[in-house]
Amino acid sequence: MNKEELMNIQPQVELFGFDDKINVRTLALSQLEQSIRVEGKNGRILQNRPIQSWNAILFLTNLLSTANVNYDLESIYVQKRNSFPMLNDEEKALGYDRGKCPINRWMFDKLVAAIQIPNVGNKLVNARIGFGFNEEGIEVAFGMNVSVCSNFAIIGGQLIHTYKWNGREGTPWNSMEYILKEWVSTLDQKMKVEMQLMERMQNTEIKNPAIINTVIGDLYKRAIDQAYVSKYPAPFDTAGMSNFVQNVLKTPPPEGDVQDHVFNQQHGIRNVWDLYNYGTSVMKPGTVDIADISTSSLLFSEYLMESFGISLN
C-alpha cells in the first residue's frame, strides 16, 4: 500500500498548514478547540497561561452573551513561526508536515483574536476587545475599531496582562476574570472615555509638516533604542517604522474638508487622530508580530497624547 492509499484510509480529520508564501493564517474557534493544549512539562499548568486560549475566548464571549451584548468574534490569527505540528514518525511517514497535517496535531503557541461590539460607538468607531495568547501569557485589551480601515485604537489605557510588561505588574487570570466582568458591565462608559480622547486627538490640528518629521525622528530613535540599546518597549520596531514612514511619504498634502475627521489617505494628515491612524494601519497581522498589535497601538497613543498634551483633565 502506497503513501497516498494510507492517507486515504486515515480518519477524516480537517487538515491545516502553512505554505511557503503564507506566514499568518486565520482559524475558526471550532478549529482552535481541536488543537493541542499548551502546557508545561508533564502537563503542568503554566502560571501565566492557566487557561487554554479557546477557553479564555469562550469566557469573554460568554460574558458578552450573558450581558445581552451583541458581538462578532472575528477571525483568530496564528503565525507560522509560533505554530507547531506535533507529529510522530508514522504521521510523518504519511507525508504530513507544516504544509499540511490534521488540525488536532497542531499546537498554536501564539495567537490573537478580535471581538467586535458593533452597537457600542458611532458611525466612525465601534467597541472592540482584543485577545492575545503568547509565550509570555494572556493579554486582553479594550479599544475601538476604526470602521473605514479596521485599525485597532487603544487610547484609554485599557490593557491587562497576566505578565509584567513595560513596568506594569501582571494580573493573575483569576483576578483578570473579575476585571473583564467589570469591563463588560461598563462598556458604554469605557467607550465614552475612548471617544472623548479620540475627539481631542481630532481637534488637535497639525498645520506644520515639520511636526510630523519630528515625531518620525523621535519614534525612529526609540525603535533603535529598543532594538540595540535599552530594549525598552517602543511603539514601533525598526521594520514597523519603515512601513509607517512609507505610509506617510505616500500621503498627499491635506486639502478640502474631511467629514467627521475620518482617516482618509486621500486627504492627508490633518490632526493627531489622522497621524495615529497612519501608524496603526501598519499594526496588522502579517505586517507585525501578532503579539505586538495591542501593545504597539497603546504605546503609540500614549506617545502622541503626551507629545501633544492631550488628556481628559
pLDDT above 70: residue 133: yes
Query: Which residue bears the cell 492627508?
Result: 268
Residue by residue, DSSP assigns 63-117 as HHHHTT---EEEEEEEEGGGEEE---HHHHHTT-BTTBEEGGGEEE--EEEEEEE
Q: Band the pLDDT of 166: cuts 50, 70, 90.
A: confident
Confirm if 117 and 66 have CB atoms less than 8 A apart. no
Mean pLDDT of 113-119: 95
pLDDT above 80: residue 107: yes
Mean confidence (pLDDT) of the chain: 89
Q: Encode pLDDT of 169-186 as tens digits.
A: 899 999 999 999 999 999
What is the pLDDT at residue 8? 54
143 forms bridges with which residues in the sheet?
128
pLDDT above 80: residue 3: no
Q: Encode pLDDT of 231-289 as tens digits.
A: 899 999 999 999 999 988 887 655 544 444 444 454 578 999 999 999 999 999 988 99
Q: Give 309: exposed, middle or buried? Use CB within 10 Å, 0-12, 13-18, 19+.
A: exposed
pTM of the model: 0.89
What is the pLDDT at residue 263? 46
pLDDT above 50: residue 9: no
Mean pLDDT of 205-232: 93
**Cα–Cα distance list, 206 to 124, 195, 299, 308 (Å):** 21, 20, 20, 10
- The Cα–Cα gap between 133 and 110 comes to 5
User: What phi-psi label fits residue 286: left (phi over 0), alpha (psi between -120 and 50 degrees) or beta?
Assistant: left
Helices and strands of the chain, counted as H and E runs:
10, 11
Q: How many CB atoms lie within 10 A of CB 194?
A: 24
Mean pLDDT of 3-13: 56
What is the pLDDT at residue 262? 45
